[in-house]
A = this chain, B = another copy of it.
Amino acid sequence: MGKRMTIKDLAEIAGVDHSTVSRALNNSPRVQEATRLKIMELARKHNFQFNASARSLSSRRTGVIGIIYPAGMEDFYSSLYTNRLFMDLRKELENYQLDGILLSALHPVNGESNIERLIRQNKVDGFLIFHGSISSENYILINKWELPVVQIHLAPDDYPEEKLDFFSTDNRCGGKLAAEHLINIGCRRFFDISIPFCKDTRTTKSINNISSETWQRTAGFTGELNASGIKDSLIIRYALSGTFQTARDFILENRENFKPGDGLFFHSDLLAFGALTACREAGIRVPEDIRIIGFDDSPIAVLMDVGITTIHQPREIIAAHAAERIFNLLEEKYNGKQKEAGKKGPSAGPENAKVQELVPPLLVKRETT
């Protein structure tokens, strides 16, 4: 009904030009302090807000970040984590006055991905991507238009990770923490139960690859054990497909093989949960007979009357740092240029240096160890 208030309306009320209003509200030094205060007061009084479209058109900033989520979002267990991560990201972005559009990476309609569409339509300033299987074409496109991107948790297969900003869990450290803990509580034999097969049939990446999560966990786990003088014969490795049932079956099928002093490191709480359920059925006591530690610190724990010891994914920190990073990249892009040109300080080093941060997870001791 009512027409929205514009800076022109505000200008008329204040008896100044609309450009002065614009500068006043944007904290330009070119407007007198008294004038600014007067205008800001009027803006507050009239509930003024900038028209986002006009602003984007003129300034070429939208204040919106495209958040690309993985195909696995349909998967029950992984979506638990992903959804919370998304919530955290959204909340963190809010601190920087940014909104988030959530999108699937898969293109639905006419051969064009959502990423491409958002870029061409000028709908976003940058991307937060937690999805490892995005084709390199998308990155090439993003680079071509010089949009900031922050990659979370999974680096893409076919794009060099040193060329992108990347935040993830330090999975190697996670494995190390699990090993340390199991050693500390007196375990004598150690099981590493991993999840090598991803749904999207990504090729397994090399040892140095920052994104091969399971491999890193195993490396940290066995590395720490070896460093503590545990013989390889006491380290047993299994790989399950990742479902609740495979973990349950794993325990039931191997029920005879377990003995007191065994410590089982599962690469997800879902597996640990399935194992724990099976232990009850099989009459194996936890933690008296064997000890179980999971990974993720998943909320499915509420479905158990006993708390599972686990490695907490540093979700909150990852979200905070990723949001801060993309904000800084935006600031650099839009405000930093002038500074660079104006100052030309000695710090003309590798300006486009990318940040790769692996956030250490946390051991959460509960009742299964």
Contacts and interface: CB of A to CB of B under 8 A. Distances in A.
Interface residues of A, number: 57
Interface string A297-309: 0011011010000
A298 to B, nearest CB: 9
A59 B1 CA distance: 16
Given A53-B62, A302-B243, A145 B102 contact: no
Contacts of A83: 79, 83
A55 B57 CA distance: 9
Contacts of A56: 52-53
Interface string A1-24: 110100000000000000000000
B47 A122 contact: no
A248 interface: yes
A77 B300 CA distance: 9
Interface string A37-65: 00000000001111111111100001010
A274 B305 CA distance: 10
A219 B302 CA distance: 30
Contacts of A144: 1-2
A53 B122 contact: yes
A50 B102 contact: no
Copies of this protein, total: 2
Nearest to A122: B51
A108 B94 contact: yes
Nearest to A146: B1
Interface of A is mostly: helix
A343 interface: no
A191 to B, nearest CB: 21
Contacts of A4: 120, 122
Contact of A302 (B76, B108, B116, B299): B76
A100 interface: yes
B121 A51 contact: yes
A71 to B, nearest CB: 12
A245 interface: yes
A266 B108 CA distance: 38
Contacts of A116: 47
A189 interface: no
A123 interface: yes
A41 to B, nearest CB: 15
A139 interface: no
5 contacts: A53-B62, A54-B57, A64-B101, A102-B102, A300-B300
Given A100-B102, A248-B305, A277-B305, 20 more contacts: A1-B145, A2-B144, A47-B120, A48-B120, A49-B121, A52-B56, A52-B122, A53-B55, A53-B57, A64-B101, A76-B299, A76-B302, A79-B84, A80-B80, A90-B104, A100-B101, A244-B302, A244-B303, A270-B303, A303-B303
